[in-house]
Amino acid sequence: MANIRALLVGLSRARVSLAEAGRCASIRPSLLASLGGHYTLPMPTRWFSSAGLPPHLVVGMPALSPTMNQGNIAKWRKQEGDKIEVGDVICEIETDKATLEFESLEEGYLAKILAPEGSKDVQVGQPIFVTVEELEDIKSIPADTSFGGEQKEEQPTESAPQPDVAKVSEQSSAVSRISPAAKLLIKEHGLDMSSLRASGPRGTLLKGDVLAALKSGAISSSAKEKKAPAAPSSQPTRDSQAQPATTSQKADTYEDIPNSQIRKVIAKRLLESKQTTPHLYLSKDVVLDPLLAFRSDLKEQHGVKVSVNDIIIKAVAIALRNVPEANAYWNSEREEAQKCDSVDISIAVATEKGLMTPIIRNADQKTISAISSEVKQLAEKARAGKLAPNEFQGGTFSISNLGMYPVDHFCAIINPPQSGILAVGRGNKVVEPVVDSDGNEKAAAVTKMSLTLSADHRVFDGQVGGKFFTELALNFSDIKRLLL
């Protein structure tokens, strides 16, 4: 009876464990946004294995952001055999947004790491480590025990017999069509068509078929016989023997560039933006001299150091406040534009892992010095991968500034669900006619900067875009408007 009771308790706890794991993976985005740079997510309940293992806990990859469906193991803070206390950081997980710390809510010992450091694209819910209650229990878990989460490397099977080329050729379909890429490779390498077999539909010979044949060496002899001229000597030279292999090696030479989770998400979102958002582009050159003079006065008279970008953020925020139709987004469910309650400016920050967009919230209500201080803090956290979700999720408008590079003007891609992004180029000295205080026109050198607005045409029409640029140009020409 005691054994049956223990078995029933174990099965019951196993069901609770699965339910808790599902709840952990589907944690609400609103809760995630309220958390800081590390997470203390609930972990599954302990369960007893029917395989005779000691009480243990299998922890799966948590969903650390609303859009996360897989993550990378950046670093293990604990190693197998280490003691785990409540609140200890077990590992660092690279999500689609940032690198975050994963804390423990229970104490125990780390028995086994299922996803080694550097593991890529680990699916949410897939087991990543196992803990036990007592240190002695680690010895009771065999090293070859599988929990369904080990990252195994693909190794070639030595015992598997190599397929016979003749049999494969007989089974393959005959060539009735040749793709343009395959035809080019055949001509380049002088291949014998009789030794090639097609795998494409309706007997189409594909580029992959030719490359596979080159790599396997199945057609090297026939190609060599076709290309090699009659030689007076019965022994081929070393150069003629090495030539086909060298040519094949050059054809297959390439380099894989590893992609971070952040860059994968950026690529996906930018593609969706261009495919689903009707982009409207508006451009205008503004005179930068009043802004530069204002920045110089702040430094000399008040000892306040701010960047040109800090003042641009303030100028854009004031323009959005005065033109609330521009500070809106497109609601796909209602099929109408909806105005935002606050002016939250997203700024593009380049990092090693990709472009991040930390947010200056209520930018229209903050002083330029406060904006400058906040931009520095957020940019530093973005480059270190320490941004909390609430610091980069949301925003009502974006600014992308390439003025520090030799870029005069460019068009940026909208960051959904926002409806606008302003691309800022560098300032250039130009000569143009100006009117002096006496009303006379004369030539003068001025600094001009190009601004290009990419807007969602469902929210911005020409009139709204014109009103926005009118307000923005006034903020640059009469810089004191930013102090009101």
Please report how the helices 462-477 and 308-322 are oriented relative to each other, as an axis angle in degrees rounded to 10: 130
Q: Which residues of 375-414 are buried (b: 16+ CB within 10 A; e: fewer)?
A: beebbebbeebbbbbebbbbbbbbbbbbbeeeeeeeebbb
Is residue 438 flagged as an active site residue? no
Partnered with residue 328 across adjacent β-strands are: 339
353: Cα within 13 Å, side-chain hemisphere: 21
Q: Which of 374, 380, 356 is nearest to 317 (CA)?
A: 374
Q: Determine the Cα–Cα distance for residues 464 and 477; give it in Å rounded to an integer.
A: 20
Handedness of CA 172, 178, 179, 180 (dihedral sign): positive
Residue 71 and residue 103 in contact, taking contact as beta carbons nearer than 8 Å: no
Catalytic, 461? Answer: yes
Single out the catalytic residue among 38, 279, 409, 457: 457
Nearest to 247 by CA among 203, 276, 215: 215
Backbone CA torsion sign across 181, 182, 183, 186: positive
The number of beta carbons lying within 10 Å of the beta carbon of residue 15 is 11
Q: Which amino acid is at 320?
A: L
- Annotated active-site residue in 82, 297, 341, 461: 461
| Residues annotated as catalytic (active site), given as ranges | 457, 461
